[in-house]
Chains A and B, each alone.
Chain A
Amino acid sequence: MKEFNIIIEICGSAGEGTISAGEILSRFMSGQGFEIMSFDSYPAEIRGFGKCVAHTRISTNRIYSPGKLADVLIALNDKHSISQLSALKENGLLIYDSQPPRPHKEDKSVVGWAKPGMISYGIPLNMLAHKAAGNARGMNMVALGAVAALLHVDQHGFTDSIKVRYGKKKQIVIDSNVNSFLEGYNWTEKNIKKIDPHSFKGMTPSKQKEKLIINGNQLVAQAALVANLSFYAGYPITPATKIMEILSRELPKHGGVLLQTEDEISAIGAVIGAGFGGKRAMTATSGPGFALMTEFTGLSVMAEVPAVIIDSQRAGPSTGMPTKTEQSDFNSAVSGGTGDCPRIVLAPTDTKSCYEATILALYLAEKYQTLVVVLLDFFLSNSIRNINIPEKPSSKYLDANIAPDKNDLKDYQRYKITKNGVSPRAIPGTPGGMFFSTGLEHDVYGRPNYSEAGHLEMTQKRFAKFNTVLSEAPAPEISAIDRDEFDIGIISWGSSAGAAHETVMSAQKEGINASSFSSMMVSPFPEKALIEFADKCKKILIPELNFSGQFASFATQILKRPVERLNFITGRPMASEDILQKMRDM
């Protein structure tokens, strides 16, 4: 079957139904058997007519990244769409309102800004919406109808999707949305002479297994539930709030407790309290909240109490840009805080691995009695994919505490020195297992101890966990692993990994022999595997979404050789087009 790949963007003002139109489009396409990835960008303000963009990639093949430039731009709002034209391909398709209401004389139509190679179709979106439902609210549906007609999409299937989307609403709402869609569809079919090549005709892929349409935040919550989470404490913060909202509904059904705390310090404190009680507990936050939690991260490591923090990164220091994506908490997650403080950090590389990382995090925290940070970002938290329904974890991942046996309890040493740094952990309620834990340096019983030898021994114990933790990490993802030599090796992490893997394929077409490497576990890092990979590469490129190259600096220390860096702080996800451009220049 022919390869088919299209990116459709809908641009409007907050409140115009931009995001819901994108959602309906991706749900419908997923139902048709396509791979989809959608990512919305919206302002941090709830009201105020800010710019919203629903970006959807639809493909017959596996999608690795959202893609940078759109094939189709649907302009619901002229003002915002003018600035969005720069994200439309040179030969892209512009669908605009040909008869918009003009409250101000100086308002101009977006079509005046279209570049010569672009194809523009004017549809009276506003007028048709009024015709269908008596108001402008259905404009988004009119636009979807127009697109469906232009791209030869099955109108009946599409209207079914709309009915499903508004299924719980009043009949009048369903009807006016469907009517608006049909109005746009019929008008376009009758009045527009199609001159572009884009068409879904004959592109319907074979139906696959039932897919889950889901984003990273939803998967984190789902994973936590299947991995026996019993306590969650959190404080609302974009882009992590949704995790708390889902668990607030679901956790009590599983016998768990959700606590909304007064701040993030209290949230991680409560998580550590529950962990001390032997229960699986976690919290989710973003940069500013993670900064507060840093106070407690050291206690988790020092007192060896399991704790899981999901940090969904947003852009910039301080409050930064709450609804923009960035990968700039790497340093803070891996080495933030005081003292020599080893912790496990996992950075899922795509939507599905958010699920795997959460299960792994809860398991590793419990087994190694330490802190695990999972680094998501705004993009992973919010971008929507259709994926196969994820498998339940095996029993190994559900109960991992190493409890003291009878012998241990004769003279119970909570912090007994062992080869892998893990000491049997008594849970309160265990007779004879009573112990005292502290954030102070301590002896094997947990009693404060500041001796030179004691501090060294305990520090070594905490670091010793790293040796075995690495063996539990999923193997690094390496593309074209069978070849021995590469002109360029791309080393990436987190959400940039998808774009990196995609670039390797497009580079191949241009004759650039490249490979890519990424590891979900970034602390401890699989250094040996990284060095082995780098030894095969003439040049190394490290693309990431931060200004200073935090991961590149980290990797350079391991590789001890110069690397090329590629850094973006646009607030948008990594694009393979940009990596490829850089590779051409290298």
Chain B
Amino acid sequence: MHSRTATVIGYVLGFALLFVIWHLASQYLVSSVLFPSPFPVFERGWVLLEEGLLQESVWASMRRIIQGFLLGSAIGIPIGLAIGSFRPVRLLLEPWTEFFRFIPAVAMITVSVIWFGIGEESKIFLIAYTTVFVVVIATAAGVGAVGRDKIRAAQCLGANKLQVFALVALPATVPYILTGMRLAMANAFVTIVAAELVASNDGLGKMLWDARLFMQVEDIFVALISLGLLGFATDRVFRLLIRAFAGRFNPTM
């Protein structure tokens, strides 16, 4: 696969270039202890890995993201399908989604902590909250975008309403659902860090906050890089999934 090799080389060189610029900037542009070069950051990251602290923080954050994200998707997909399929449901629920999606999850941290405490429940609630509306909107849009002729063709081949839904509308909507989930995942990263900054005993957000308190600049950078890499890896997984389902007929995704 020639193009795949080119992609991999591109990514490796791209990241390498980023680190070179970072290094040069830290050496010549802003020489300050507050902006370390990548080398001490990598060293610190290695130490944290060896002590098992980094894995612990990453796992704490990822576990919350995955749980909340799955919960939010599980709620969002059926609601989105219902909104897209039935006009009365749309008229009834569209105001909800239009209302709640402008109340950011970050603003909900306060009530979430009051309701669920600073444990797991409040984080999972916030991630689910930030996921659900994006997934609902994407799913409903997907149902609405199913081509009229696709549905008519099925009717002419003898499909009843249930068959039209299960065999045409649903598979045609899958790429939209996955795209919505992909967008929601980016929101989930924003939300988890904010939630852990404010109220948490572990996770990458907590790591950032503690490092700030003790002026451990390298630790801050280790946490930031971890977030970037985690998000990057998660997004890759989603793109692979979308391609597996939809890539054959929509190479732009």
A and B are partners in one complex rather than unrelated chains? no
Interface residues, chain B, with chain A CB atoms under 8 Å away: none
Interface residues, chain A, with chain B CB atoms under 8 Å away: none
